[in-house]
Structure 1
Amino acid sequence: MDETVKPLRIPPQMSVYADKHNIFHLEQSMLSSLVIDRPEDPISYLISLLRRSSVDIPRVLLLGPPAVGKHTVAKKLSAELRAVQVTTDSLLEGQSELSVQAHQYTLKEQELPTELLVQLIQQRLNEIDCFNRVRLRSDSAFLDFLSIRLLYVLLERSRGKLVDPLTGDIYHRTFIWPVDDTVAQRLEIPSETQLLAELQRYRCEGTGLNSAYQHVLKIINADQPHADIYQQVLAFVRTRRRSITPRILLLGPPGSGKSHQARLLSKKYKMVDVCCGQLLRSVAADGSALGEEIQSYLDDGRRVPDSIVLQVLEERLSRVDCSCSGWILHGFPYDLQQAKSLQEFQQPNRVFFLELTDDVCLERITLRATDPVSGERFHAMTRPAPSSEVTDRLKTRPEDSTDSVTHNLSQYRIHSAVLQAVYPDACHIDADQDPHSVFEALESRLTAY
C-alpha cells in the first residue's frame, strides 16, 4: 500500500458503536437536510433537527413519474399510519401569507416558484401535528430521511388516469374504479399535454433525485397491482426505522458466482466490494514490505498465512468507505478458525450461502478458457469462442483444471458445514439459475433483514 497516502480508518469499536446508534445514517441525513434547506444558521438548524430526530417518527417522501400511483399510496398510508399528508393542493388551502401568495400563481395558471414552494413546505412541516405524526409528501422532492421512488410505468397506464374534480382523488379505468357511481360519472380525464410535460420533467430530474436520496432510497416496481405496491411501501415504512450499515458475507463453492453477485450488489447499493484474493494481489503489487512478503507466497503457489490475510482485511474493512457504506466480502473466511478471527474485529450482519452442486461447479469452471490475445474469457457451453482460430489459442488456467477444482470443492464441503454452524441465521440461495434471478433472490433477502 502507498505509504505516502494514509486512508482514513475507523477503529472497529467505533464502527460498531456508530452502527448501534445509527451515527452514519444520522450524519448523512443531516448533511442532506443542510444541502436541501440551506439554513442561514446551520448550527441552530442542526440542533433543531436533532431534537426532532430523537423521536422515532418516519418522514416519507414518494417520488415517481406522473400517474405512477403516488397520490393513491400516500392517501392509504395517511389513513393507515394516521399521518399528515402534504401535497401542493393542501399547502394552498392554508390562510398564511405564503399560502395566499402561492394561490395567486394558481389563479393565473402559473407554476409555483421553487423557493416559494420550499417555504410553504417548511412552514407546514414546522406545525405541531407534523412534529408528532408521520409526514407524507407525494409530489415533489424537498423532504429527507425516508424516500420511496416508484418507477417503470407505461404511458398507456398514464392514459387511463381519471381525476375526481371535487375531491382531487385519482382513479384509473382498469386498476382503480370508484365504487360510487356518482363519483364515477363526474370523473375527468387530465390533460395529456400536461402529463407528457410532467413525465419529461421527471425524467430530467430523476437521476439527481436518485443521487440525493441514495442513502435512504427504496425502489419499487410500480408496474404491478397497486395493492401489491402499497404493501411493499407499508412494509418498508414500518421496518426501515433506522439504517444498518450492511456487512455482507458471500459464501459458496467455487463457481457459484460470488464475485459476479458482489459486483452487482456493490454497483446498485454503493457498498464496497472486497474480494479477498484480489485484495491480497493488490497489496502484493504496491511495493510495501507487507506486499513483498505476500508476493513471495503467491509466487511459490503457497497459501498466504491467516495472520497476514487478517491484517490486510482488518485494515481494508476499517476504512471510512467500508464503515459508512458497508462492504461485501467474498473469498474469506475459508474455515472455522478464519471465521472466528473475523468475528473478533468485524461481525457480518448479513450472510449468504450460494448453493450449487459439484457437477454444476465443475461444468462452470473446467469448461472456461481465456483468449491470450484479447483477454476475453469464453465458456464451451454458455459462451463459445466466435471462431476456430480463437478456439485453438484458448488457454485454461491451472486452477481451473478438473483435478484442482475437484480438490477445492472437496475442501469447501469439509468446511461448509462448520461455517453454517457459525452463521446459523444465514440465508441459502439457489445459485443454479441465471445470474439475474440469483441477484433478485439476494436482493429480496437483503432488504428483509
Structure 2
Amino acid sequence: VVSMVASSMETKALMDANTAYCERHKVFQMFEGLMSRLVIERPDDPIGFLIGELQADRKPRVILGSFDTEVLAAQAEALRSAKGLVIVDANQVLSTIVASSVGDEAKAHLDKGEPIPDLLLVQALTQRLLSDECAQRGWVLLNFPQTLEQAQHLLAMGNLPTLVVHLDVPLEQTLARVTLRRYDPDDPTGAVAFHLERNPPSDPAVLARLKQRPEDSEGAVRAQVARGTGGGP
C-alpha cells in the first residue's frame, strides 16, 4: 500500500511538473495555433507546413478591443512603440475601401444605401493585414471582429491572431471620458478636440459654441456597451 501511495504521489508530481512546463512555455497555445493554421490553410504537405510554421519568424498579430476608444488608442500606441506593430483600424479601412480591389462591389452597395457586407470588409482588411509592412512588423487590429460572422471570415482568410485582448474599462470611467468630449463646429478641419475637464478652450466664445457629437452622448455610449456585453439589442 505504501509503495502504491508513493507511486501515485510521484505520478502526480510528474503531471504537475509537465503542466507547469507547458504553461510556462505556452505549449498548449502553440499547438492550438498550429492546428488552427493547419485547418485554415489545408496544405498538401501538412508535416512540411508545420515544420515551416515552427521555423518561421512570425511577428505578433494582436486583436485589441475596448468600448473606450481613448484607452484603446493609448494601448495600441503603446504596442506600436514597444513592439513596432502596425495599427490597423477597421474604420479607417472602411473609409478607404472604395479604393481597394473590392471597391467596385463596395461602392455598389453604398450607392444603394446598403451596408458593406462583412465579406467585402474582411477582404479589404485582409489586404492590409497581409501587406509587406504588416508581415514585417506584425499588427494590432482595433475593435474587429465584432460579430461571429466577421470572426469566421477573418479566420477563413488566414488572419489568425497570436493574441486577443479585450480591455475592460468601468462604465462610469468611460462615460466621464467620452461624454465630456466636444468639438468646435466653426473649425472646418475638426483637428482640435476638447474635453470639458481635461483641455477646455481658454476662449469663452469657443467654449460657448462647442458641440457634442451624437456618438459621445451618454445614451449612445450606454447603448454601445450594452450591445457589446449582450445587455441590449
TM exceeding 0.5: yes
Which amino acid in structure 1 is aligned with residue 94 of structure 2?
L
User: Cα distance 1:304–1:258, how it changes in 2: closer, same or farther (>3 A)?
Assistant: farther
Structure 1 equivalent of residue 132 of structure 2? 320
Q: Describe how 1:258-269 pairs up with structure 2 within 5 A.
A: 258-269=72-83
Instruction: State the structure with more CA Rg.
Output: 1
Distance in 2 of aligned mates of 1:292 and 1:381: 41
- Quote the Cα distance in structure 1 between the aligned partners of 2:106 and 2:51: 31
1: CA distance, partners of 2:211 / 2:51: 48
- If the length of structure 2 is used for normalisation, what is the TM-score? 0.66
Q: Structure 1 pair 18/314, CA: closer, same or farther in 2 (3 Å)?
A: farther
How far is the alpha carbon of 1:334 from its aligned partner? 0.7
Which residue of 31, 53, 71 maps to 1:20?
A: 53
CA contact (8 A) 2:119 2:153 kept: no
Q: CA deviation at 1:276?
A: 0.4
1:341 corresponds, among 153, 156, 172, to 153
Aligned-pair identity in percent equals 28
Q: Which residue of 2 aligns with 1:365?
A: 178
> Once the 2 structures are TM-superposed, how far is the Cα of residue 270 of structure 1 from its aligned partner?
2.2
Matching of residues 42-441 of structure 1 within 5 Å: 244-255=58-69, 257-284=71-98, 288-290=103-105, 292-293=107-108, 295-296=110-111, 303-344=115-156, 345-372=158-185, 373=187, 375-414=191-230
Instruction: Answer yes or no: is the 8 Å Cα contact 1:245–1:323 preserved in 2.
Output: yes
Query: Letter of the aligned partner of 2:107 in structure 1?
Result: E
Displacement of 1:283 after TM fit?
A: 2.0
For these two proteins, the number of residue pairs brought into alignment is: 181
Q: Which has the higher helix share?
A: 2
Matched-pair contact (CA < 8 Å) for 2:100–2:124: no
Distance 1:399 1:327, change over 3 A: same
Larger RCO (alpha carbons 8 Å, 6+ apart): 2
Structure 2 residue runs of 5 or longer lacking an equivalent are: 1-39, 44-48
**d(CA) in 2 for partners of 1:408, 1:357:** 14
2: CA distance, partners of 1:285 / 1:340: 24
TM-score (normalised: structure 1) = 0.36
Residues 216-273 of structure 1: CA deviation (Å, up to 9, x unaligned):
xxxxxxxxxxxxxxxxxxxxxxxxxxxx410001012244621232233224422211
Structure 1 unpaired stretches of 5+? 1-11, 26-243, 416-449
Q: Is the 8 A contact 1:248 1:329 kept in 2?
A: yes
Judged with a 3 Å threshold, the aligned counterparts in structure 2 of structure 1 residues 293 and 22 are, in CA distance, closer, same or farther, namely: farther
Q: 1:307 to 1:267 in 2, by over 3 A?
A: same
Measured after TM superposition, the shift of residue 375 of structure 1 is: 2.4
Deviation at 1:339, TM superposition (A): 2.2
